[in-house]
Amino acid sequence: MSTSMNMLRIGPVSVRWKSRPLMICCLLLAAILLLAVFHIATGTMSFSSFQVISSLVGGSDNATADRIIQRVRLPRLVTALFVGASLGTAGAIFQSISRNALGSPDVIGFTTGAATGAIAQIILFNAGPLETALSAVASGMAAAVLVFMLAVKGRRTGGYRLILVGIGVGAILSGINTVLLVAGDLDQAASAQLWLSGSLNTRSWAHVVPAMVGFAVTVPLALHYAKSVNILEMGDDAACQLGIQPERTRLAMVLVAVTLTSVATASAGPISFVALAAPQLARRLTASSNVPLISGALMGATLLVVADLLSQHVPFGIKMPIGLTTGLLGGLYLLWVLACQKK
């Protein structure tokens, strides 16, 4: 498959693209559409593909099917898509600016920071989805600023230093989360603990809105800085010579990635593996040296929908939280990555 650059010119506007990344993105999009239909069609009550499409387009003759599809399964699917896309994009950004394959928000500790604010809202104020999302974004931002400030040395933020500081801050925040759970009311603590496991159960359109708005607002900013981040991977000195301000670019992209991570965490709870694996798989498939923002987002959405399907169809009638499923997959993937590096 060719990786050569192609150009389309329409009047004064020209668009350049590479064949292989475009093909991979199209294949991922097609896979998402097929998985979406299968995701909605299967469950305790199964529907045909025709029933699913009819209900989504204009409503079928079966009111029960319409209610289940439009009010239960569709919000769950859309939440999974936006959460997965947000995590995939955030992971691509973190891995690029840290120049490390382990630079994902769940490893660095930003996911834990977002969880701290969300847990505090649930335990202390019994908050709803919107308040939980806003608190998660605020606490995720605070954790990012703290990690960024502690990681700066000589006015520069080293990749390994950023990861190590993030792991330390994440451990502290994890302890704070435990204290909140122990000190809280039993019912609210149980609700927060269920949320901490990462789940798409009982997702409604109220959970979709934060993830959708956060993704729609921040991804254009990420695309705006994408070229600068690509140059930044060459090194800070080379970036400065080409007119890029490394720390400003890095800080802007960190804020974008933290926002994506926070709204995703608020919508579905802490979900591991996706932000770690999606960008790496996207890079391998596209064979591109550029930061995989679009392909990473599509891969993240695909992985989370697949993980949700696995969670719902585990043998012996067990309904696993999606966070547990992604955690198990993430552990296996991390072992595979380490084994490949050893070779």
How many domains is the chain built from?
1
Calpha distance 207→222 (Å, rounded): 23
What domain range is 155 assigned to?
A: 77-311+321-342
- Answer yes or no: is 163 within a domain: yes
pLDDT digits (tens, 9 = 90+) for 281-336: 999 899 888 888 999 999 999 999 999 998 888 776 677 888 888 888 888 887 88
- Answer yes or no: is 13 within a domain: no
Global pTM exceeds 0.85: yes
- Answer yes or no: is 89 within a domain: yes
Sign of the dihedral defined by the CA atoms of residues 325, 215, 22, 41, in that order: positive
Alpha carbons within 13 A on the beta-carbon side of 287: 9
In this structure, are residues 88 and 274 in contact, taking their beta carbons and an 8 Å threshold? yes
CA 321 to chain CA centroid, nearest Å? 17
pLDDT at site 172 = 94
Calpha distance 257→250 (Å, rounded): 10
pLDDT at site 147 = 87
What is the CATH number for 228? Answer: 1.10.3470.10
Residues of the chain with pLDDT under 50: 1-2
37 forms beta bridges with: none
pLDDT digits (tens, 9 = 90+) for 229-273: 888 877 778 888 888 888 788 888 888 998 899 889 888 888 988
- Answer yes or no: is 228 within a domain: yes
pLDDT at site 232 = 82
pLDDT at site 298 = 96
Task: Give the position of tokens 């230093």.
Answer: 161
- Answer yes or no: is 71 within a domain: no
- Answer yes or no: is 302 within a domain: yes
- Answer yes or no: is 1 within a domain: no
- Answer yes or no: is 28 within a domain: no
Cα–Cα distances in Å, from 153 out to 112, 156, 158, 162, 221? 24, 5, 8, 10, 26
Under DSSP, the state recorded for 317 is G
Calpha distance 119→88 (Å, rounded): 23
